[in-house]
A = this chain, B = another copy of it.
Amino acid sequence: MAIIVQKFGGTSVGDIVRIQNVAKKVKAELDKKNQVIVVVSAMSGVTNQLVSYCHEVSSLMSDDALAEYDSVISSGEQITCGLLALELQSIGYKARSFLGWQIPMKTDDVHSKARIDSIDGDFLLNSLKTHDVIVIAGFQGVHGDSGRIATLGRGGSDTSAVAIAAAVKADLCDIYTDVDGVYTTDPRITNKARKLNKIAYEEMLEMAYSGSKVLQTRSVAMAMAHNVRVRVLSSFQEVTEESGTILVNNEEEIMERRVITGISYSKNDVRITLSRMPDHPGLSAAIFGVLADKEVNVDMIVQSASVDGKFIDITFTTATEELSRAKSALDSISDQIKYEKISIDENVAKISVIGVGMVSHSGVAHTMFKTLAEKGINILVISTSEIKISVLIAKEYGELAVRVLHTAYELDK
């Protein structure tokens, strides 16, 4: 008898018929005599509606406002977890729902993007003794001191599910979504994309970070930290042994070694270049310090000095939605950093090739640069990690780059 956590996203619980379909997926696990904890998102569209109500009455700039915002938007998951519990009761199970504060799932007080501090796993395991199945509202917890509802930020239900799986030492955490697994690249870009049966946590982390929307970065990091076996699969297909993609520990489980696991692609980046700044110690610290203070996430960074060493240019990328925050942060220190010009280019795409095998194989970067050069694609910025190489290119070449790299790294079917 295994303990299984099943998480269903917004499209999977988008209406009553789909909630009834979810109940069938739960039943399938119960029929196998597994113990099941279900985590649900809000019905698709509901959270957006609630967020938009909040924006109509508030600029949401204060902590007090964000606490109210959390209380409002957490109601979406409250609705679906109650409805799923009702449906499970209707098909004959002793089911009950739990909201974040009822467990409790304790968080810090950073409302609208809270972090989980603790989950009472024993409480959940005891509840499983007196119920056939329990259903938990994802995305929400409660701040221990204030007793106020706190939400985990967009996509936080994945994080809820993985954290709950860690707290009860679940054998598997199944994340049901509207795609049937993790692909070598986005199948909408090339029909040669293949579903991966397994992927290492680190690879999934880089994929999520580099633009793959299948799982939230945070949930993958948490799965890796707590060694939670996570499987991504479709809620609209029958589940078989072959279904989905499972996240595993690299050393232990991925036997057949491949160099590159996948290629991710993001069109959501903007390149900002600060030109001809008088160089002095602490210049970079000033720039990236103020950006960090304003919570601008910087991705790629390139610095180049003028021939005489007196001036430098700094280029970095960030997400498009953080552009206005980045600009006002830089404005606030323009006296100090004295750039001659600031250039902003939203017409860029980021392509990342990812694979833990990269560590032990040379020539990966060379293949990338050569392949792109052959198609006349100019590389604007490069950044690398142990298991990833990302390049920034002109947006118009994005899909082409993905397709040629998919072939070059032998990922085609």
Contact = CB atoms under 8 A, between A and B. Distances in A.
Interface of A: 16, 19-20, 50, 53-54, 56-60, 62, 64-65, 67-69, 71-72, 74-76, 78-79, 81-83, 85-87, 89-90, 94-97, 99, 101-102, 147-149
A97 B75 contact: no
Contact of A96 (B67, B87, B89): B67
A103 to B, nearest CB: 10
Nearest to A94: B64
B69 A57 contact: no
Contacts of A99: 71, 149
The oligomer's copy count stands at 2
A156 B400 CA distance: 61
Given A68-B96, A72-B82, A85-B68, A57 B19 contact: yes
A151 to B, nearest CB: 12
Given A50-B79, A53-B16, A89 B64 contact: yes
A96 to B, nearest CB: 7
Given A72-B82, A102-B148, A20 B97 contact: no
Contacts of A101: 101
Contact of A82 (B71, B78, B85): B71
A82 to B, nearest CB: 4
Given A54-B83, A64-B95, 11 more contacts: A16-B53, A54-B86, A57-B83, A57-B87, A58-B86, A64-B94, A68-B97, A69-B86, A71-B81, A72-B78, A75-B75
Nearest to A54: B86
Interface centre among A19, A64, A75, A90 (most CB of B within 10 A): A75
Contacts of A50: 79
Contacts of A68: 82-83, 85-86, 89, 96-97
A58 B90 contact: yes
Contacts of A62: 89
Contact of A65 (B65, B86, B147): B86
Contacts of A53: 16, 79, 83
A19 B149 CA distance: 22
Given A57-B87, A72-B79, A90-B58, A64 B96 contact: yes
